[in-house]
Amino acid sequence: MIILTLGVALCPLLLIIFLFWFLGLAIIQIKDQVTKWRQWHSTPCPHCVYFTNCDELRCAVNPCQVLTKNAVNCRDFAPIVGCRIYDYKIGARHN
């Protein structure tokens, strides 16, 4: 009888704890995805010929610098022909 009473009393508390735990994990995942999205769109890498969208090797020329702050001024950047690219040094779009 005491175990049943204790279980009924602790059940709502455990549900609240699990809810906050789940929400915390969800917020962390969303924050990580936003960080990756910002990093993805702040570099010229996706518009480069050497960029492969493969997780194992994203850049054939500079695999250690791909999608990082160092990639903004990449000396090996070669734009994809026929694709709108962003000129990161000037800050304007070109065809």
Q: What are phi and psi of 66, to 5 degrees?
A: -65, 135
**Average of pLDDT values for 42-46?**
82
**Average of pLDDT values for 23-43?**
88
Q: What is the pLDDT of residues 55-93, one digit of tens each?
A: 788 888 888 888 888 888 888 888 877 655 555 444 444
Q: Report the percentage of the chain scoring pLDDT > 70.
A: 85
**Average of pLDDT values for 36-47?**
79
Burial label for 88, CB within 10 Å (0-12, 13-18, 19+), is middle
Q: Residue 95: its pLDDT value, please?
A: 44
Q: Report the percentage of the chain scoring pLDDT > 90.
A: 21
Burial label for 43, CB within 10 Å (0-12, 13-18, 19+), is buried
- Which band of pLDDT confidence, cut at 50, 70 and 90, is reported for residue 20? very high
Domain residue ranges in the chain: 1-41, 44-95
Residue pair 59/48 in contact (Cβ under 8 Å)? The answer is: yes
pTM score of the predicted model: 0.50
* Alpha helix ranges (H) inside the chain: 2-41
